[in-house]
Amino acid sequence: MSFTLLPGTRAPVRVWTDPATIEAEAAGQLRNIGSLPWVEGVAVMPDVHFGKGATVGSVIAMRQALAPAAVGVDIGCGMSAVRTSLTDADLPDDLGPLRRAIESAIPVGFNAHDEPVNPRRVHGMPTAGWDAFWATFTSLTPGVRQLEARATRQLGTLGGGNHFIEVCVEQGGPDAGRVWLMLHSGSRNIGKELAERHIAVARKLPHNADLPDRDLAVFVTGTPEMDAYRHDLTWAQEYAARNRAIMLALLCRVVREAVGRVRFDEPISCHHNYVAEERYGGVDLLVTRKGAIKAGRGDLGIIPGSMGTGSYIVRGLGNDDAYRSASHGAGRRMSRAKAKKTFTTQDLAEQTAGVECRKDAGVVDEIPGAYKDLGAVIAEQRDLVEVVAHLKQVVCVKG
């Protein structure tokens, strides 16, 4: 489909879904964003839903300004995936031991490694730039400097919520049956700590006094507050990318130990909570993607569903109207609280049949029924991306 303009905004808010299906709270957020004087335009993805500060599934293009709450607290959250030489026939009949091995190798939830992972001791792990990366920690906002030890031990850890690690099987096409490895995580506690401190600073700035939503407080280019945020933001985005790289290397090692000889293709990796400097229509813009991936022409991306419905590998079509973006997933259709009230563990077991995963009350809020239909979400953005592969998980690790 092509986009629809959301009425009642100063800047154009282009929507890649039926505006009538957008929840009222999310539509209100989009109108608030579109009213900000710094906003050049907004692209709304088909997985859009209500979020803190800004809607999840939105791409906000600003001139010389950034809203830290619109980036969110999980700075650099995103996806990584790699195709293997294995087929589903190479996987063990009982996938329980494989799931437990993954959970043993990669801490989940609030857990961390007992000792920091040494990237030079993990096969397949990129080793460049680590010393320079960690040397920058002392230049972050002073309030987080006591968290360095924790941050080093959380590198290579999953977290909780909607973060996951999966073993998937390609569906249909010439490579049907091929095994993929996939994971979803971000900048862990250190990203959250940085974001919350900068959001608090932005709210107190005089130019943000009359905003329609205090969570849309912005930093403006050329100010020390913006410089400090951009510095920490860039570091946290790199932390998130390195976090996923370590986990993917650890995951590959677990699979290699479980099945024996295996080859891995070049990994695909993409942020979906981040900021980038980009140029559209001859104008330099700061583009915030909150729950959206970069989909420039030829860019490979990952659009996951829920823990029972699979995911898509996609290739971007470079649509400038959407700031060369696409959705980051299926998107929630109900809150976590509502999901817990609506579904039972029996529902979870039924909706994740055939997937080796947790099926207890602790993950009912992640049940497939709490998410939008992924196939419909993909169909609504066929002018943004083309499908490369459809994957279905057989193992899913949740925090």
Active site members: 328
Contacts of residue 97, defined as CB under 8 A and 6 or more positions apart, other chains included, come to 258
The structure tokens listed for 359 are 């099926």
Q: Residues with Cβ < 8 Å from 309, sequence gap 6 or more?
A: 330, 368, 371, 374
CA–CA–CA angle 365, 367, 371 (5° rounding): 95
- Rounded to whole angstroms, the Cα distance separating 43 from 119 reads 38
Instruction: Kindly state the helix (H) or strand (E) to which residue 374 belongs, with its residue range.
Output: helix 374-379
**CA-wise closest residue to 144 among 208, 73, 214:** 73
End-to-end Cα, the chain, rounded Å:
35
Residue with tokens 């130990």: 257
DSSP-derived pairing of the beta strands 219-220 and 4-5:
unpaired
CA-wise closest residue to 300 among 252, 266, 262, 251: 266
Q: How far apart are CA 139 and CA 260, in angstroms?
A: 44
Quick check: 290 and 273 in contact, CB under 8 A? yes
Q: Tokens 């920690």 map to which residue?
A: 137
Please give the radius of gyration of the chain, using alpha carbons only, rounded to the nearest integer.
20
| Distances 155 to 187, 210, 310 between C-alpha atoms, Å | 8, 39, 26
Three-state DSSP at 47 gives: strand
